[in-house]
Chains A and B, each alone.
Chain A
Amino acid sequence: QKEVEQNSGPLSVPEGAIASLNCTYSDRGSQSFFWYRQYSGKSPELIMFIYSNGDKEDGRFTAQLNKASQYVSLLIRDSQPSDSATYLCAVRPRGDSWGKLQFGAGTQVVVTP
């Protein structure tokens, strides 16, 4: 079982719709959760982080964390073609003291005009 799992996609989303991305993790004691956006040929860009159960909103992005069910999700509202990218979920596992993040393989999102 992979430590951090994501559906590889592609997730096709009409422009203006909500894109919903899911990430599950195996370590129940995981502490911190991050979403990165990576355009093709570019570096990962941090777009959201969440440390506590519940929702966290930042602009068109909402991260949702449910530690009991061991998943974290990312919602992108009013999706734009510029949101087309691969979204990486990263998790800081239990016992980590130094930011040793575990990354999922990423979900490719394609926003169609």
Chain B
Amino acid sequence: DTAVSQTPKYLVTQMGNDKSIKCEQNLGHDTMYWYKQDSKKFLKIMFSYNNKELIINETVPNRFSPKSPDKAHLNLHINSLELGDSAVYFCASSQFDRGSYEQYFGPGTRLTVT
């Protein structure tokens, strides 16, 4: 069974478009994260939700808007896409209430903006 899943796996779109990425975890975790990995492979946290509450909100353009309808799902909507948004976006989850900080990653969504 897939633990953390993301859709779509690949996303190719033009500048100026709006797109969404979806993430679901079946680990029963209470915390989910969005990361961006750029072309240099540097992984940087963007957002995190704990039980549907936004707890980490890094310095990210406000064109990026996360949403967590429940603790098993986390979506990322991106408005007015720019070339610099091209990257791989990873979702991750962890079980926070046990004081556990181990994070488990989804397969990633490779976004290409042309």
Residue positions of A touching B, CB distance < 8 A = 32, 34, 36, 38, 42-46, 49, 86, 88, 92, 98-101, 103, 105-106
Contacts and interface: CB of A to CB of B under 8 A. Distances in A.
A92 B101 contact: yes
Of B33, B94, B102, B104, the most chain A CB neighbours within 10 A belong to B102
A46 B45 contact: no
B45 A100 contact: yes
Given A49-B102, A98-B50, A99-B101, A43 B107 contact: yes
A7 to B, nearest CB: 14
B10 to A, nearest CB: 11
A46 B90 CA distance: 14
B101 A43 contact: no
A105 B41 contact: yes
A49 B100 CA distance: 10
B27 to A, nearest CB: 12
Task: Name B's interface SS.
Answer: strand
Contacts, number: 53
B42 A46 contact: no
A103 B43 contact: yes
A32 B42 CA distance: 19
A42 to B, nearest CB: 7
A43 B102 contact: no
Given A98-B50, A99-B96, A44 B102 contact: no
A63 B103 CA distance: 17
Nearest to B105: A43
Contacts of A106: 41
B66 interface: no
Contacts of A100: 45, 48, 56
Nearest to B106: A43
Contacts of A105: 40-42
Contacts of B102: 34, 46, 49
Contacts of A49: 101-102
